[in-house]
Amino acid sequence: MPQPKPRPYTRKQALQNAAFLTELARTGNAREAARTLALNRSMLTKRRNADPDFAQRWEAALVLAAAALSDPQTPPGEAHVVRTRGRLQLRTPGKRRQIDRDAEQRFLAAVSATANIRLSAQAAGFAHSSFYARARRHPGFARELRIALAIGAERLEAALLESSLPESNAHDHWRHNDPPAIPPMTVAQAMQMIGQKARRERELADPQALPKRGESNAAWIERRTLANGVRAMLEEEEARMVEYAQEEWRKGGRRTQWEPGGWDLLLEQALRVKGRAGS
């Protein structure tokens, strides 16, 4: 009989799992990691038995902990999956500098402000190709990159619309004299300019809607079909994210100590209490 699929985790449970795996990769001791985070080890064991993905990450964290403890010179960082000679391997960062979570956050923050991949990668201190490769390797990072690009584009669009208002006076510096007179033209030239204006408006509304120069009708149809499929996938992803956010809001979800940045404080408090108890 096929094994039943595990139920999806709540946000709190997923963050608990991430915090436990991080601590497990540091110590290599599941019981100590659960005790440090004030989690029930039997609860985590049940999740491991019911979820093959969590079980694999558990075993990988133990391997990473053993490798780090056996070689203290190994630089800290996030392990990644690579394909070598037709098979997958889990590799720790090498001696060269790797993209860690802090670099990801700097890059995503820059993208949300500029919507420019190359400029944001330069601000984070890495090549833009490294982040493209990371997006291909990690679907979660690819989703966050799409969200950051959407936020950046929306902010730039809002700034552009704001600057276009007559009250902004942002572009009045060029208007130092009266506009020049319209040059003389024939009726045919005037109609040609009107047609070019209508075409430019269609291109601004949807730049990919019109066939490109020298493109066949079959190639244009194939390109539009692919673009529509990608648009449908992104719309479905956005709808699922909105539906999940609405469901969390209906449940009265609150920010817990397991939110990003919160469990680090919890860990620090637990270690402080443990130190006082041992003294």
User: For residues 20 and 37, what is the distance between their CA atoms, to the nearest angstrom?
Assistant: 7
User: How does residue 27 score in pLDDT terms, banded at 50, 70 and 90?
Assistant: confident
Strand, coil or helix: 91: strand
User: How does residue 263 score in pLDDT terms, banded at 50, 70 and 90?
Assistant: very low
145 closest CA partner among 130, 157, 158, 159: 130
pLDDT at 112 over 80: yes
User: For residues 63 and 159, what is the distance between their CA atoms, to the nearest angstrom?
Assistant: 49
- The rounded mean pLDDT for the chain is 76
Amino acid 202: pLDDT: 65
26 closest CA partner among 73, 76, 85, 86: 76
Most confident of 8-17, 18-27, 199-208, 233-242: 18-27
Please indicate whether residue 17 or residue 165 has the higher confidence score (pLDDT). Answer: 17
Q: Compute CA 45 distance to the chain's CA centroid, rounded to the nearest angstrom.
A: 30
Amino acid 43: pLDDT: 92
pLDDT at 184 over 60: yes
Amino acid 270: pLDDT: 56
Least confident of 59-63, 180-184, 233-237: 180-184
Query: 157 vs 50, 149, 163, CA distance in Å?
Result: 46, 12, 10
**Phi, psi (rounded to 5 degrees) for 93:** -60, 145
Strand, coil or helix: 171: coil
- List pLDDT tens digits, range 209-221: 677 778 888 888 8
As given in the structure block, the two tokens for residue 149 are: 């690009």
pLDDT at 180 over 70: no
